[in-house]
Structure 1
Amino acid sequence: MNILITAGGTSEKIDNVRSITNHSTGRLGKAIGETFLTQGHRVTYVTTPQAVRPTPNSNLTFIEIETTKELETALLDQFEHQVFDGIIHSMAVSDFTTETTLSEDAFIEKLVAKLVKDGNLTNLTNLTDALYHSLDEIGKTIQPEKKIPSGTDRLLLFLKKNPKIIAMLREKQPQAVLVGFKLLVGVSTEELIQVGHAILAKNKCDFVLANDLEAIHGDHHHGILIDASGQTETADTKNEIAQLIVSKVEEKWRMQG
């Protein structure tokens, strides 16, 4: 099988020396990648600079990205040149990317100038509309500094929503066995399964691995693999999860063949 795996966590630049990111280590992706390689499959592994990686292998190709936009570009490039039998989208992708950054003083000056320009704001509806319009314009302010000065008491960071990478995977690779991932924090098993199943249906996945951050510590990693019929199987370590995912993807691929 020709397998694509995304793993690690994207980061979004604030300036040339700062970024916002998440805490994904890529260890689960590493375990999944090594399990596929052990079974003799070819793996294209898309990951980030800080994430752990599978041991180098003649059947393993690395692609390194940092931002969600870079991830999208790399995947679209791969889809133009390869057909994948399975896609394991385990990467923790940033929901938002940076739009612009302003000091407290600069933000207030820009907001006041735009509100004054809009004129009659005594009506609550007019004021609300003017604030939305002003924030939209301010958010599009070009960030000129390569390193934002640190001499302000407050730094206002504007974030805009990233595209959902998983949403395009089925469209671009309709033949692939697709595995999505959903991480929640401090929820019941019932809610975890319910949300995981919603993600599966929305993105036309074959499987979703639902897990709770509070059930991940040390070697313990409790995960619930949900299939399109709503059936679930559980595993309690990263290696067990990897074995479960690989076996299910292989089985589904054989059935499709």
Structure 2
Amino acid sequence: MNILITAGGTSEKIDNVRSITNHSTGRLGKAIAETFLAQGHQVTYLTTPQAVHPAMESNLTLIEIETTKELESALLTQFKQQTFDGIIHSMAVSDFTTETTLSEDIFIEKLADKLATESDLSDLTNLTEALYRSLDEIGQTIQQAKKIPSGTDRLLLFLKKNPKIIAMLREQQPQAVLVGFKLLVGVSTEELIRVGRSILAKNDCDFILANDLEDIHGDQHKGILLDAKGQTETAQTKNEIAQLIVNKVEEKWRNQ
């Protein structure tokens, strides 16, 4: 099988020396990749410089990205070049990316300047609409500084929503066995399964690995694998999850 795996966590740049990221280590993705490789499959592995990587071997192609935009571009390039039998999208993708950054003084100056051109701000509806327009315009301010000065007491960071990478996978590779991941924090098993099923249906996945951050401690990693038929299977470690996913993807691929 020809397998694509995403792993690790994307970072979104604030300036040339600062970024926003998440705590994903890529250890689960690494375990999944190593299990597929051990079974003789070809693996294309998209990950980040900070994440752990599987050891290089002849059946492994490793591609590093940092931002969600870079991930999207790398995926589209791969989809043009080859067809995948399975896609394991375990990467923790940033929901938001940076739009611009302003000091408190500059933000207030720009907002006051925008509102000064508005009329009848005594009406709450007009004021609300004017604020929305002003924030939208300010958010589009081009970030000039390569390193934002640290002299301001407050730094206002504008974030805009990233595209959902998982939403495009089925469209781009309709033949692939698709495995998505959903991480929640401190919820009941019932809620974890409910949300996982919702994500599975919304993105037309074959499987979703639903897990709770509070159930992840080193190699101990409880995960619930849901399939499109409503069945669930539970694993207790990263290696068990990896083997479960590989077995299910292989089985689904053979039966297509």
TM-score normalized by structure 2?
A: 1.00
Deviation at 1:120, TM superposition (A): 1.7
Instruction: State the partner residue of 1:39.
Output: 39
Q: Distance in 1 between matches of 2:216 and 2:206?
A: 24
Q: Distance in 2 between matches of 1:118 and 1:143?
A: 26
Task: Give a deviation string over 1:113-171, Cα, whole Å, max 9, x none.
Answer: 10011122010000000000000000000000000000000000000000000000000
Q: Which amino acid aligns with 1:202?
A: K
Q: Runs of 4+ in structure 1 displaced over 6 angstroms? A: none
Instruction: State the partner residue of 1:192.
Output: 192
Q: Distance in 2 between matches of 1:218 and 1:59?
A: 27
Instruction: State the partner residue of 1:54.
Output: 54
Q: Which amino acid aligns with 2:10?
A: T
Task: Give a deviation string over 1:203-245, Cα, whole Å, max 9, x none.
Answer: 0000000000000012210000000011000000000000000
Q: Distance in 2 between matches of 1:112 and 1:249?
A: 57
* Secondary structure of the corresponding residue to residue 151 of structure 1: coil
Deviation at 1:55, TM superposition (A): 1.1
Task: Give a deviation string over 1:1-47, Cα, whole Å, max 9, x none.
Answer: 00000000000000000000000000000000000000000000000
Q: Which amino acid aligns with 1:40?
A: G
Q: Distance in 2 between matches of 1:32 and 1:147?
A: 38
Deviation at 1:246, TM superposition (A): 0.1
Q: Distance in 2 between matches of 1:217 and 1:116?
A: 54
* Secondary structure of the corresponding residue to residue 160 of structure 1: strand
Instruction: State the partner residue of 2:112.
Output: 112
Q: Distance in 2 between matches of 1:138 and 1:157?
A: 11
* Secondary structure of the corresponding residue to residue 118 of structure 1: coil
Instruction: State the partner residue of 2:122.
Output: 122
Q: Which residues in structure 2 correspond to 1:123-202 (within 5 Å)?
A: 123-202=123-202
Deviation at 1:175, TM superposition (A): 0.1
Instruction: State the partner residue of 2:25.
Output: 25
Q: Which amino acid aligns with 1:27?
A: R
Deviation at 1:81, TM superposition (A): 0.6
Gap regions ≥5 residues in structure 2: none
Gap regions ≥5 residues in structure 1: none
TM-score normalized by structure 1?
A: 0.99
Q: Which residues in structure 2 correspond to 1:231-246 (within 5 Å)?
A: 231-246=231-246
Q: Distance in 1 between matches of 2:218 and 2:99?
A: 36
Deviation at 1:95, TM superposition (A): 0.1
Q: Distance in 2 between matches of 1:170 and 1:118?
A: 46
Q: Distance in 2 between matches of 1:87 and 1:253?
A: 11
Task: Give a deviation string over 1:182-221, Cα, whole Å, max 9, x none.
Answer: 0000000000000000000000000000000000012210
Q: Which amino acid aligns with 1:113?
A: D
Q: Distance in 1 between matches of 2:117 and 2:222?
A: 56
Q: Distance in 1 between matches of 2:3 and 2:91?
A: 15
Instruction: State the partner residue of 2:10.
Output: 10
* Secondary structure of the corresponding residue to residue 163 of structure 1: coil
Q: Distance in 1 between matches of 2:32 and 2:44?
A: 12
Q: Which amino acid aligns with 2:94?
A: S
Q: Distance in 2 between matches of 1:36 and 1:3?
A: 8
Q: Distance in 1 between matches of 2:203 and 2:69?
A: 19
Deviation at 1:57, TM superposition (A): 1.0
Instruction: State the partner residue of 1:205.
Output: 205
* Secondary structure of the corresponding residue to residue 120 of structure 1: coil
CA RMSD across the alignment: 0.4
Q: Which amino acid aligns with 2:226?
A: I
Instruction: State the partner residue of 1:79.
Output: 79
Q: Distance in 2 between matches of 1:21 and 1:6?
A: 16
